[in-house]
Structure 1
Amino acid sequence: MLINFRLEYLSRYSFLFLLISIISVKTTFAQIEDSAIIKSDSLYRAGEYQKVINLLQNRLVTAQSKKEKVIEIVIYNSFGKAYSQLGKPVEALKNYQIALKKAETDNEKQQSGKILKNIGALYEEQKNFSQALTFYERAQNIAIEIKDESLLADCYNNTGIIYEQQLKYDLALSVYKKALQIYQKLQKTDRIALSLNNIGIVYKYLGELPKAIEYYNQSLIYSEKLGDKFFVAANLNNIGNVYALLKNYPKAIEFNTKSLKIAESIQATNIVVEAYGSLAEDYEGLGDYKKALYFKNKYTKVNSDYINVESAKQLAEMQTLYQTEKQRGQITALKQNEQINSLKMARQELLIQKRNYQILFTVLVMMIFISSGYLYFQKQRVKQKREQRRAILLAETNERSRIAKDVHDDIGSGLSKITLMAGMVSHKMQANGVEVGEINNITQISKDLVENMRDLIWVLNPQNATLDNLVARIREYCSDYLEGLSVKSDLAIQDEIPQIKISQEVQRNIFLTIKEALHNCIKHADCHQIFIELVYKNDLLTFHIKDSGKGFEMNELKKSGNGLKNMQQRMQTIGATFKVNSVLGEGTSVKTEIKLAQLEKAVA
C-alpha cells in the first residue's frame, strides 16, 4: 500500500509556488521591459525549466557587467523557482538567498516580499512549517507596509496550506476564500484558478466530494485557458484522486493517465511521482494487480531519484550560513574597534612602564607571556576535545541518515512489492475457489511492516529530534491511523509547539508509547470513541489518551497483556510519569507527563 499522500499536498506546494511565481514575474515585467526575461516567462509557463536557467545565465552576465541591479534580483529569483520545479531545493534556496540579499541591500521591498514568500513555500515543501510560517509572516508584513494586495493574498494561500496540514479545514477554507475575494477584486485570472483549486482540496478533505470536483473543474477550465501545463496536470491528478475515493476507478485512471502524460512532457518530476503512485492505487482498487505492480515500480524508482533525505539538512545549513554571512560584517567591525582600543591602551601602558618601572615591566611581560602560553595550550586542548565530540556526533548523524535511507530504499521497496504480489496471488486463488487465509495474513503482515518501517525511518532521522517535529508526527500518525475507522475521534493536539531539541531516546519512547496506546484502544478496547490530548505548557509535556471501551479491573493490571507494562517501562526510562486508570465497562485512560529537563537530557 502506498503512503496516503495524494497530489493535493505535494503538487499543491509546487503549483501554488509555481503559479504565484509566474504571476510575480509578470508583475515585474510590467515594470521591466527586458526581452530575455519576458521570453523566460513563456518558457516557464510551458514547463521548460532548464531552458529558463540556460537563457537567463547569459543575461545575468550582461546584467552584472552593466550593474543592472533589479534585473539581477529578478534573474536569481527566477533561478530559484526553476530549480525548485526541477526538484533541486538546495540549489533553489541558494539562488533565493542571493536574490534576497541584493533586494534588501537595494531596499527593493516588493521584490524582498516575493522572495521571502518563495523561500517560505520551499520550506513548506520540506514540511518545515515553523520556518515556512516565519518567512510568510515577513512577506505579509511587507505586503501590508507597501499595500500590495496581490502579495497579501498569496500569503493567505500559503498559510491555508499549513492549516490543511494541521487539519484546521475551516480556517483553511476561510483564508482561501479571503484570497479569492482579493484576486477577484484585482481580476487576476491566474490566482483565481489557484484559489478555486485550493478550495476544492479543502472540500475533498471535508468529505464533500461532488463539491470538490466542481471546484477542481472550474480551476481546470482556467488553467487550460492560461496554457499552464503544470497546473493542468495537477488539476487532472486531483480530479482523478477524488474519483478514486468515490471508487470510480476507471474514471480515476482516465484523469491520472492524462496528468502523467502532460507531466512527463514538461519534466514535472513531482507530479510524475504522484501520478505513478495514484495509478498504482487505482489499478489495485480495480483488481488489476499486474498493472498496479508496474506503476508501483515506476513510482519507487522515480521517487528515490527525486527525494534526497539530506535535502532538509542542507537547507537548514544553508540558511544558517546565510544568516552568519549577514552578520559577519558587523562582527568584523566590532573586532577591529576592540583591537584598536586594545592597542592604544597597550601603548600607553608601555610608555608609562618604560619611564617609571622598567624592571617591573620586564617581569610583567614575562608573566604575561607565560600565562598567555598556558592559556593558549589550554584553549587548544578544549578546542580539540570539542572538535572530537563534533566529529563523533556528525559521524553518528550521518550513519543514522544512511541507515534510514537504506531501510527506505531496500526494505521498504521489497515489502511494498510483497504486499502487491500477495494481493495478486490472493486474487488468482480466490478466482479458482482456493482458501486464501494465509495469503491474506501475509498481505496484512507486510502492510504492518511497511508502516513500522516508516516509523523507524522517521525515528532514525536526527533532523526529526525536535519537540515540534515530534508533535507534528504524532498529529499526522493519529489522523492517518484513525482515518476510515468507525471510531469517533477527538484530537486536542496543541498547534504552536516550540522548536526544542530533544534526545532521540525521548523522541522514540514517547512516539512508540502513544502508538502502542492508540493500538490498544482500537485492537483491544472495542471502543466507539477516543479522546487524544497533547499539550506543552510551563516546560511540561502532557499527553492523555482515553477510550470509551470495555475497560478492565485495575487489580488485574499486572496480568494485563495489552502492552501497558511496556509503555510504563518506556516512560520510566526517560524519567516521565505514567498513570493508568480503567473502569470495567466504561473505558481506559492513559496519561503521562515529562519535564523539559528530561526532554533535553542526553542531547549533545
Structure 2
Amino acid sequence: MCYLLLMALALLWGTLQGQSARPSQLPSVFSRPDSVPRQPPRAALPDTARVRGYLARGKQMRYTNIDSALRFDRQALALSRRIGFREGQARAQHAVANDLYNAGSYVAAGQAYEAAVHLTRRAGLCDQEAGAYNGMGLVAQALGNVQGAIEYFNRARARYAQCKPVNPRYEVLVLTNIGNTYMQTGQPARAERPLRQALARVTPAVDAAAVLNLLDLVGMLQQHQQHLDSAVATWRHELALANRVGNRRAQSFATANLASATLAQGQPRVALAYAQQAMRLARQLGNFSQITDNTLVLARAMHALGQPAAFDTLSRFLVLQDTLMGRARTEAVAQAQARFNVAEQHARIRTLEQQRRIIELQRAQQTLRTRVAVGVGLLLLALGLGLGWWVYRRRQQRREAALRRQLAADLHDDVGTLLTQIALQTDLLQEGLASPEEQPLQWAEVAGRSRLAVRQLNDVVWGLDAQNDTVPDLLNRLRDYAHEVLVPSGRDVRFVADPPASGTPLSAAVRRQLYLIYKEALHNILKHTADTATVTVTLHRQGPLLVLEVVNDGPLVPPGTERASGHGLRNIRTRAQALGGHATAEAAPNGGFAVRVQVPLT
C-alpha cells in the first residue's frame, strides 16, 4: 500500500508540473488527437461550420444546462444528416448520447451509444468509436449490469489501443471507470488492480479531469483499506490540482471527502472548514446528495466543537435525508423500470433475430422455388416454342397446299376453260370449216375470249398478291372491274366508300370471296337489268363487319321468274356463309334490285 501511495504522489507531482507547464494545451474529452481535422468541400463549408458551432455550444452547456446542450447537439445531428456530413453526424450522435446519459435517460442513452458505434465506425473515428463503447459501459454500470459494464469497458480499451497515435489519457479513463464500477458495487479488492494500472499510466499528456477522477477513487480505496492518512494526502493533492485548473466538481468532491476524513482523524475544526467549503460548492453545483452528506458532517463537527447550531443542522440533515431517500426510491424504481425495459428490449431483439432468421430461411426457400419455377418455366417455354414452331410450320404447309389447290382450281375453272375454247375455235378456223362470212365473227369471238382469259388471269394473280390486303385495294379492284364490264354496256356506275373503313386491313380469304361475290352480282345485273340502269356500289364498315352493297335502279323482276332462287344468288350466300357472314338479295324499296353482303373483318 505504501508503494501505491508513493507512486500516486510521484505521478501526481509530474502531472502538476506538466499541467503548470502547458495549461492551455489540455486535450478535450471530445477532441480527436489521432488525426487531422478533415476539410470539407468549399460548397459545404458553411453547413459544416454550423454543425461544429452547434457541437461547441452543446459542449459548453453539458454540465450547466443539459436541456439546451441536448437541443444544440440534436440540431447538429439533424443538419449533418441533411448535408451528408458523415464525421459531423458521428460526433453529434456521440454528443447526444452523452447528454442523455448526463440527464439520467439511461435506456435512450444506450440506444444512442449503439447508433454512435456504427456511425463512428463508418466515419473512421477510432477514438469516438471507443468512446461510444465506454459510454455503453457507463450505461450498463448505471443500470446495475456490472458484467456488461466491464465487457464494454474492455472493448473500449481494446479499441483505444488500436487508435494511432496511442493516447494514455484514454487508457487511464477506461481503467478508472473499471475501478469505479467495482467500487460502486462493493468490490474494492477487484478495484485496486485497474486503479493501480491507471496510476502507472498517468503522464503529463493525461488531462486534469481524468487525473482528478482517478485521485478521488484512489482516496476512497485507501479509506476503505483503513489507510486514512494516505487518503487525506491523496484528496489534498486532488484539491490542489482542482483549484489549479478550476474544476469545481472535483473541488466539491475533494473537500467533502477531506471533511469526513479529518473528522474521523479527530480534527473537528479542520473538518468544519472543509465541510463549509464543500457545502458552498455543492450548492453552486446543485448536487443535492452532497448537500445532504455535507450537512451531516457539519452537524457532527459542530457537535464535536460544542456549538449550539449542531442540533438545528442535524434536524436539517434529517429533513434532507428523508427527501433524498424519497428521491432514491424514485430513482431505484426508475432504474428498475429501465432494467426491465432493457431486458424487454433484449428479448425483443432476440425475437426479431429469430424472425430475421426465419425470414432468411423463407427467402432462401422462396429463392430455390423461384429458381426451380424459372427453370421449369424456361423448359416449358422452350417446349412451347418448339411446339408452336412445329404448329406454325404445319399451318404454313397447309396454307401453301391450300393456296396451290386454289390456284390450280382458279386457273382450271376460270382460265383453263376459256383457253380450251380458244384452242378449239382456232383449230376450226385453221381447218377452214367456217365460211368466209363467219370467219370475222369467229375471230372476234376468239379475241373476246382471249381478253376475258387475260382478265380472269389478272383476277387470280390479284387475289394471291398480299400487297392488296386493304380496303382501298379492294375498292380499286371493284371499280376497275365495273368499268370493264358495265361501262361498255352503257350502264352508269357509282361508288360510295366509308372513310373510316378505307384503312382497314383484309385477309386474303375475305378479299377474294368478296370480289367473287361482287363479280357474281355484276354478272346478274348484266343478264337481268336494262342497259339504262344505274348501279351503286357501297363499301362501308359496321363495327366488326364489312358491308358490300350492289344496288341497281332498273325495273323489278316480273312475278313468277323466281330470281332469288338462281344459282348466282345461291353462290353469293354460300360464299358469305363460308366467311362467317350472310347475304341478302331482294327488291329495293324504290325499285330495282339490291344485293347486300356483310362479313367479319377477321
**Which of these two proteins has the greater Rg computed from alpha carbons?**
2
Higher relative contact order (CA 8 A, sep 6+): 1
TM-score range, shorter chain: 0.3 to 0.5
TM-score of the two chains, using structure 1 as the length reference: 0.47
